[in-house]
Amino acid sequence: MPSSVSIKRSETSKCRESLKKYCSGDGLDIGFGGDPIVSHAICVDLLKPYARYLDYPQHLHGDAKNLYWFKDCCLNFVYSSHLLEDFEDTGAVLDEWTRVLKVGGVLVLFLPDEKAYREHCRRQGKPPNIHHIHEDFSLEFIKCILKSRSNLEIIHEKFPTEIYNFELVIRKISP
């Protein structure tokens, strides 16, 4: 049972009110870091936990690039916060995450705009996250990748939100 006291404020806590409405039915929170977007999400993260926000269990352990636990077109939603920017082949990861979505299912993303994030870090006197692969990672970067995927449509986007982040919700419209 989750405790009511948060040890650290998660990125998901910053967007929950805006994005949880897209996370109904069966779905995943990939890279959940201990604070799932909704309590019924299947929580996926690394083998070794790296954060502790609340006391939610981690259901699956593994690499977010391969959702081998799930067959094609079986989930209503996939949610991820502050993880996609860590992968070199962003398009391949997006393809894997949308592979498991049913037609009508949604990919719900809360991600940093890298330029705004680096500027925020500079103002705070802190180094940026070394795991961020792309200096040009942004809403436009993701939308450019999505242009070649005719089976997906953007149903919600918002930038900026929470200083340096953006929200993006993508619906799968065909297999």
Q: What is the pLDDT of residues 62-83, one digit of tens each?
A: 999 999 999 999 999 999 999 9
Please check whether residue 145 lies inside any domain of the structure. Answer: yes
Please report whether residue 3 resides in a domain: no
- Domain presence at residue 47: yes
Q: Looking at residue 21, what DSSP letter applies? A: G
Long-range contacts of 1-4 (CB under 8 A, 24+ apart): 1/55, 2/39, 2/54, 2/55, 2/56, 3/54, 3/55
Q: Whole domain around residue 38: which residue ranges?
A: 11-172
Confidence of residue 33 (pLDDT cuts 50, 70, 90): confident
Task: Judge whether 112 lies within some domain.
Answer: yes
The pLDDT score that the predictor gives to residue 3 is 44
DSSP count for the chain of H helices, then E strands: 4, 7
Answer yes or no: is 1 within a domain: no
Domain tally for the chain?
Answer: 1
Q: What is the pLDDT of residue 38?
A: 97
The full DSSP string for 26-37 is SEEEET-TT--S
Confidence class for position 49, pLDDT limits 50, 70, 90: low
